[in-house]
Amino acid sequence: MKNSIRIGLIGDFSPHVRAHYAIPRAIELALSGLACQAEASWLSTPLLGEGDTEEKLSGYDALWCVPGSPYQSMDGALRAIRFAREHGIPFLGTCGGFQHAILEYARNALGLKEADHAESNPSASLPLIAPLSCSLVGTKGSIRFCPDSRIAAIYGKAETIEEYHCNYGLRPGYQSLLEQGELRITGFDSEGQARVFELTGHPFFLGTLFQPELSALNGGAHPLIRAFLKAASAARDKAALAERKQQPADRRINKIRSQPRSA
């Protein structure tokens, strides 16, 4: 598809998960007004957990780790998230994606190898992701953004109301562990619990415990998804420019190699 950005959806598709059939529509709605199109492809976590993950992901302009945990392969999801983080690939994690991106960062960037998810490992010694004090399945709530954060700039305001469908989140007592690195909590609920994170120094690496894609079920184009697509488009354009610059250099090298050597 001409002028199209490629979005990899990290997760295990299920027709029973509302977010999964909302996401393609959310992407379509968010493209309105953007000078590009998009192709979204599902990347099952078992597939990502085997072989060369980088080779499987290198053709995508952006990656979205979608709701629907526990994933069939936690390792596959974490590998894909790590690839996006370390290679500057635009990344969005919603609900389960938010949870696993925090987990990946704790393990691989902060060295907290025991960090785990209580849903898949209830006896974890470091349950970084733990049951919420109150279930957020089917609820809406207010989120307050930190001043000067990327998420506040995307929304253009300091507070919003969003929809959830989750039972797990960052355990409050462990939030200080993340302050050792560059991953920042920049959105909080009314009780001060983490609801948004972003990674400083990265082109676009952001996660939300709420599910912005659900706005598509009411026909709404979500500002966060539009910002994600803009970042993907910028990444694609940057890669294309780098490739064009490289081609003349490659031709010069090939020309030199083809010239006959003097005796």
Q: Indicate if the pLDDT at residue 165 is higher than 80.
A: yes
Residue 222 pLDDT > 60, yes or no? yes
Flag whether 115 is in a domain: yes
* 3-44 confidence digits (pLDDT tens): 689 999 999 999 999 999 999 999 999 999 888 899 999 999
Task: Provide the pairing of β-strand 159-163 with 168-170.
Answer: unpaired
pTM of the model: 0.91
10 class by beta-carbon count within 10 Å (0-12 exposed, 13-18 middle, 19+ buried): buried
The pLDDT of residue 173 is above 80:
yes
H/E/C letters for each residue in 131-143? ECCCCCCCCEEEE
Instruction: Specify the number of domains making up the chain.
Output: 1
Could you tell me which residue, 250 or 222, shows the higher pLDDT? 222
Q: State phi, psi for 262 to the nearest 5 degrees.
A: -70, 150
What's the domain range around 69? 4-258
263 inside domain: no
Query: What's the CATH code of the domain at 164?
Result: 3.40.50.880
User: Is 160 a domain residue?
Assistant: yes
What 8-state DSSP symbol labels residue 244?
Answer: H
What residues contact 204, with CB distance under 8 A and at least 6 apart? 62, 90, 91, 92, 150, 227, 228, 231
- At 111-158, the pLDDT tens digits run 999 999 999 999 999 999 999 999 999 999 999 999 999 999 999 999
Rounded to the nearest integer, the mean pLDDT of the chain is: 93
